[in-house]
Amino acid sequence: MIKTLSKDIVVISDVHAAYNWDNVAIAVKGIANFLNPNNELRKVIKKLNRSSGVGAVVFNGDAIDNFYADYLNFTDFFGKLKKKRKNNWDLFNKSVGNLKKKYFQIPGNHEYRLESYNYRFWSRLVAFNIPDKIRKKVAKKIGHHNHRWWFELKSVLLKKRFKYLKKYKGLICPAFKQFDGYNMIFLNTRYDVVARMRNWWKLFKSFFRKGYFFTDAQGLRTKDIRFVRQTLADNEDDTFHIFMHVPIINSCYSRINEEYRLDLSNFRDSIAEQGLDHEVCLDNSGRFLKTLKRSKKNIILVTSHVHDSKYFLIDKKTMKAKEVSLKHFNRKRNNPIYIKHLTTLSLGNFSPYDPYKRTGYLRISNKGFKEVVVHKFAPKGKKKYNFEWSFFNFIKELFYSG
């Protein structure tokens, strides 16, 4: 029996809050229509506070851009750093402190990034609606551009003892919560694949196959899958929403009505051959889907990370995945023969693969799923930006001052 839900849940992801965005906004004022993630968060919180139909908010990962707010130069890595350094969590928590709704939160891959990164390599600011020509023009004003050579990797490499997330209790996963008829499972898809040197051979194999390094996350652990299996078995309710930051399957561009065959015994290779491995989980995805396949529950996977919205129906019997429209997805949302898999829009920036360059969030209600589009920077969908982080681009920027 499907429960009647009296309140809506809003899913906000990829805010990428950081103190330096306010400096960027000052530097480009009047010359670029900058998408400031900090302002977007403040505005959406005010809007949600006014909405009586919203009962709770889920922050689905990448709440912050990175942990420390200051940008270290090359020489800073050789000196003794201050014990007390400004961090971007303080900024995010200050904004969320004004939210008058119950909220839940999971970590994304950016929550594991300690140091601020170089805008020349890792972001390029195109996704925040600042063209490269303007970024180079204001580089000195906004900072985050000085060369740090091999220390550039410090912005993504993971420390062996990563203790920074432990102090934020709301980020502890896996977890099961119930709210107003919703059964919610929260999972942690962990850090960037590049953060562990043991994954680097896989990165290079991907580069030779695709021409660029994939930006996957490490994925779920065995204990996460056991937790999901036990939670589904112990609870008599029919419908479960599973929130995790990084998707299991995803293609670069949307291909409505395209079908894919998922081989659970050789999952990684099967999705790679079909182009479904763009910015997905590296570990245990096949095992995770096998657990969901065996369950008779109605399961919806709510993921984010890719900054674009896509909707897949995965047939539990045949393990065929089909990308469908949101309208079709909503028609099948209560049918337990399908595993429903979706990705959400980003609030803080847009995807290079979305021709409309949209930002927004997801709203879940009794009527189904609704995309709330906040911005559409290319209304006619004419221009596509593809700024995938390629090895050649990294080398060029490393030796070219711009």
Question: Could you write out the DSSP letters of every residue in 329-340?
Answer: HHHTTT-TTEEE
* Mean pLDDT of all residues in 270-277: 92
The predicted structure's pLDDT at residue 379:
73
- For β-strands 310-315 and 259-261, DSSP reports them as unpaired
Q: Which CATH number fits domain 8-399: 2.30.30.90, 1.20.1730.10, 3.60.21.10, 3.10.20.30?
A: 3.60.21.10
Q: What is the pLDDT of the chain when averaged over all its residues?
A: 89
Mean pLDDT of 166-180: 84
Residue 102, token pair as written in the block: 């119950």
Output the CA–CA distances (angstroms, integers) from residue 324 to 254, 256, 391, in the order listed. 9, 5, 33
Cβ neighbours around 165 below 10 Å, total: 16
pLDDT in tens, 32-89: 999 999 999 999 999 999 999 999 999 999 999 999 999 988 888 887 776 788 999 9
Residue 279, CA atoms < 13 Å, CB-side half-sphere: 20
What is the signed CA dihedral for 249, 182, 171, 346, rounded to 10 degrees? 50
| pLDDT band (50, 70, 90) for residue 243 | very high
Judged by DSSP in three states, 312 sits in strand
Give the residue from 335, 343, 375 showing the smallest Cα distance to 359: 375
What band does 133 get if pLDDT is binned at 50, 70 and 90? very high
Q: Is the pLDDT of residue 385 over 60?
A: no
Model pLDDT, residue 204 = 72
Least confident of 283-287, 308-312, 334-338, 383-387: 383-387
The arrangement of strands across the sheet holding 298-303 comes to: 175-179, 182-186, 239-243, 298-303, 338-343, 310-315, 320-324, 259-261
Buried b (16+ CB within 10 A) or exposed e, 219-239: bbbeebbebbbebbeeeeeeb
d(CA 340, CA 343): 10
Instruction: Return the bridge partners of 360, or none.
Output: 373
Please, which pLDDT band fits residue 200 given cuts at 50, 70 and 90?
A: confident
Complete edge-to-edge strand list for the sheet that includes strand 8-12: 102-105, 54-59, 8-12, 358-365, 368-376
Residue 84, pLDDT score:
83
**Lowest-pLDDT range of 32-46, 153-167, 361-375:** 153-167
Say which residue, 124 or 71, is predicted with more confidence: 71
Residue type, 74: F
Could you give the dihedral angle defined by the CA atoms of residues 46, 48, 51 and 55, in that order, rounded to the nearest 10 degrees?
Answer: -140
Q: Does 398 score more than 60 pLDDT? A: no
At residue 388 the predicted structure's pLDDT band, cuts being 50, 70 and 90, is very low
> pTM of the entire structure?
0.92
pLDDT at residue number 108: 95
- CB-based contact 296:316 (threshold 8 Å): no
Q: Which residue has the higher pLDDT, 150 or 365?
A: 365
